[in-house]
Amino acid sequence: MSFPLIRSALLAVALLPCLASAAATLTLEAALQLAVQRSEAARASRAGILGATESARAAGQLPDPTLRVGIDNLPVTGPDRFSTTREPMTMKRVGISQEWLSTDKRNARQAAADATVERETVQARAAIADIRLQTTLAYVDAFYAAESSKLATAMEHHAREEFEAARARLAAAAVGSQEVLALGVARGTAEDESSDALQQQDAARLALQRWVGVMPDALAPLAEVPVPGEDAYVAGHPTVAALQRDLEVAKRAAAVAASNRSPNWTWEVGYGQRTGYADLVTFGVSIPIPVALDARQDRDTAARLALADKAEADLAEATRVAATQYQTLQSDARRLRERIERYRASVLATAAQRSSAAMAAYRSNQATLATLFESRHAEVEAQRKLLALQRDLARTLAQLAFRPIAFADEVAP
């Protein structure tokens, strides 16, 4: 069995509890677990961490030694040409050389590699945070689309009942044809609105299925999620956290470049064999001479320091953007709460009272069915507008709660 098939089978077994619960009523927490477990982006992030970790393990090691084999002073002319035994100066040589990096240099390279691992870890957590955020937004849209569809379906049923009642009263000459025609148009409008709501619900459910992999029968109501403070939000913002790690990597790379001002020594030992004469042993050390530090090594260090300065400026700018984003979302959430409370008190309550009054008037033959339907339709529209405001508030709170990577699951390679 191929590895992809084995992985798919193991993933299916791991998801069985979540899939079983999703078949009935899916909760937000179960949706988040499903989305993270089946995400290929999360798998790619874990692979990135593993690759950086493996590279870091080799960063502080010395380079591989070099085996040197050769023949010195081999004659190429005369009667002894190409003979390795007749000429006393000919020597067969074997040796080994090793480039030596100082402890400070190896520590600098190890620190740079470790900083890269930390950057990959942050990027992985940012990927998971984005998966959770997108899943939550899709869940919010699907939940409120279903609630809106329920209202539209109820309105469609009311329109049909009132149209049939009007036709019956028309047959008994209790109402005129104009009222029946008006209710017929209202019924058609209600049916179209119900169909449109179902279409939006299907689109929202498919968008959620893209993340969780299943089509649930129902969605559980949303619970209040904890919202971090501004400092925690800014520090955990994916862009800010990633740039913080980029800055650290740039600083470590600059330290590695600065360490190159001190050249690497190479030592060598060799053994030479001569026929008929004493064998020889050779020791040697090669030391590069940096004759133009200001033109080579210092330029490289300056370039790395400039990149670190750029990363620091990008981090400062991203921090300001994240702080403004948090303040904007908090302001939106506060105003949406105010609008919801005001809308409930001034619009929804009044619409419900109007429907009750229209029903009482209709029962006492002081109002027509068309008037009753109009009041009911206005009440349903008010309820749908309230759902839209509640959806906007839920989406705003989701961005506050799930965008920071501090609220994302830990990622282990």
Res 179: pLDDT: 59
- What's 39-407's CATH class? mainly alpha
Q: Which residues contact 25 (CB under 8 A, 6 or more apart)?
A: 216, 217, 218, 219, 220
* Cα–Cα dist 178/3, whole Å: 71
Domain extents for the chain? 39-407
DSSP letters spanning 297-359: HHHHHHHHHHHHHHHHHHHHHHHHHHHHHHHHHHHHHHHHHHHHHHHIIIIIHHHHHHHHHHH
Are the C-beta atoms of residues 59 and 253 closer than 8 Å to each other?
no
Go through the chain and tell me how many residues it has.
Answer: 413
Over the chain, what is the mean pLDDT? 83
Q: How far is CA 263 from CA 112, 288, 293, in A?
A: 19, 6, 11
Report the predicted TM-score, pTM, of the whole model to 2 decimal places.
0.77
Helices (H), 172-293: 177-212, 230-236, 238-259
Alpha-carbon Rg for the chain, nearest whole angstrom, is 38
Q: Collapse the DSSP code of 110 into the 3-class scheme (helix H, G, I; strand E, B; otherwise coil) and give the result.
A: helix
Res 306: pLDDT: 95
Query: 365 versus 235: which is more confidently predicted?
Result: 235
Choice among 11-20, 142-151, 182-191, 329-338 with the minimum mean pLDDT: 11-20
- List pLDDT tens digits, range 33-92: 999 888 888 788 888 888 888 888 888 888 889 999 999 888 888 888 888 888 888 889
The first and second tokens of residue 26, run together, are 């899916």
Taking the alpha carbons of 119, 125, 128, 133 in that order, is the dihedral positive or negative? negative
- Tell me which range, 9-13, 99-103, 324-328, is most confidently predicted by mean pLDDT: 324-328
* Cα–Cα dist 315/313, whole Å: 5
Are the C-beta atoms of residues 305 and 220 closer than 8 Å to each other?
no
Enclosing H/E stretch for 367: none
Q: How far is CA 167 from CA 184, 192, 372, in A?
A: 9, 21, 15
Enclosing H/E stretch for 215: none
- List pLDDT tens digits, range 271-312: 998 888 888 899 999 988 888 778 778 888 899 999 999 999
Q: For residue 216, what is the DSSP state? A: -
- pLDDT, mean of residues 247-255: 93
Instruction: Name the pairing type of β-strands 91-100 and 265-273.
Output: antiparallel
- pLDDT, mean of residues 402-413: 60
